[in-house]
Amino acid sequence: MKKLNVFDVRTIIGLLMLTYGVILLIVSTTTSDEELARADGTNANLWVGLALVIVGVLMIGWALLRPIEIDEEQVEADKRAVEEEAHRRLEGGPAA
């Protein structure tokens, strides 16, 4: 069995969320008093950034702990079946 992680959608989404979370955490350090007043004294960038970092880390952890496993024997069997069907159609034979 072959394991794939690079193109797993969980990895991509996790990295995006982690990146945006870190950006928001950095921006939250420069929040002015005026911006805090508009958000009822809550530093929204800080809290949303923390949430994004946590969810991003969880998504990446999930992808690493439970990688996608590909059964290469089944893939080869499927390829053979598709090729046989393609040859059958080219020869004008009935489809199975």
Q: How many CB atoms lie within 10 A of CB 46?
A: 15
What is each CA distance from 69 to 26, 61, 62, 72, 89, in whole angstroms? 37, 16, 14, 9, 32
Q: How far apart are the first and last CA of the chain?
A: 29
Question: Per-residue pLDDT tens for 42-62?
Answer: 999 999 999 999 999 999 999
Helix (H) or strand (E) holding 70: strand 68-70
Q: Specify the pLDDT at position 93.
A: 60
Helix (H) or strand (E) holding 4: strand 2-4
Q: Specify the pLDDT at position 92.
A: 79
Q: Specify the pLDDT at position 96.
A: 53
Amino acid at 61: G
